[in-house]
A = this chain, B = another copy of it.
Amino acid sequence: MAQQRARAVTQRGLAELAGVSVATVSRVLGSPPEQRHRWAAPETVQTILSLAESHGYTRNPHAASLRTSRSNLVGVMVPRLQDFVLATIYEGIEEAAMENGINTYVMNSLDDTALQRTRTQAMLERRVDGLIFGDAHLDDTFLDELREQGVPLVLTSRRRDGHVSVTCDDYVGGRLVAEHLLELGRTDVVVLAGLEFASTAYDRTRGLIDRLAEAGIDVPPRQMIYRGFDTAAGRQAMREILEAGTRPNAVFATNDFAAIGALGVLQDHGFSVPEDVALIGYNDTPLAESVGIPMTTIRSKMHLMGREALLTLLALLAGKEVQSQKLEPELIVRASSAARDIT
- For the complex, give the distance between the alpha carbons of A260 and B286 in Å: 11
Interface bin, chain A: 35 or more
1/0 per residue, CB under 8 A from B, across A56-77: the answer is 0011111101100001000000
Are A103 and B105 within 8 A (Cβ)?
A: yes
- Chain B residues in 8 Å Cβ range of A263: 292
- For the complex, give the distance between the alpha carbons of A286 and B264 in Å: 13
- For the complex, give the distance between the alpha carbons of A292 and B261 in Å: 9
- Chain B residues in 8 Å Cβ range of A308: none
- Chain B residues in 8 Å Cβ range of A267: 292
A9 in the interface (beta carbon within 8 A)? no
- Chain B residues in 8 Å Cβ range of A65: 62
Q: Which residue of B lies closest to A58 (CB)?
A: B125
Q: Which residue of B lies closest to A263 (CB)?
A: B292
A343 in the interface (beta carbon within 8 A)? no
A212 in the interface (beta carbon within 8 A)? no
A88 in the interface (beta carbon within 8 A)? yes
- Chain B residues in 8 Å Cβ range of A36: none
Stretch at the interface among A16-24, A143-151, A184-192, A217-225: A143-151
A231 in the interface (beta carbon within 8 A)? yes
A55 in the interface (beta carbon within 8 A)? no
* Residues of A81-125 whose CB lies within 8 A of B: 81-82, 84, 87-88, 90-91, 94, 98, 103-108, 119, 122, 124-125
Are B94 and A108 within 8 A (Cβ)?
A: yes
1/0 per residue, CB under 8 A from B, across A221-259: the answer is 000000000111001000000000000000000000000
- For the complex, give the distance between the alpha carbons of A151 and B8 in Å: 13
1/0 per residue, CB under 8 A from B, across A1-31: the answer is 0111100000000000000000000000000
A287 in the interface (beta carbon within 8 A)? yes
Are A150 and B81 within 8 A (Cβ)?
A: no
Are A105 and B104 within 8 A (Cβ)?
A: yes
The 4 closest A-B pairs by CB, nearest first: A62-B65, A5-B150, A62-B66, A231-B290
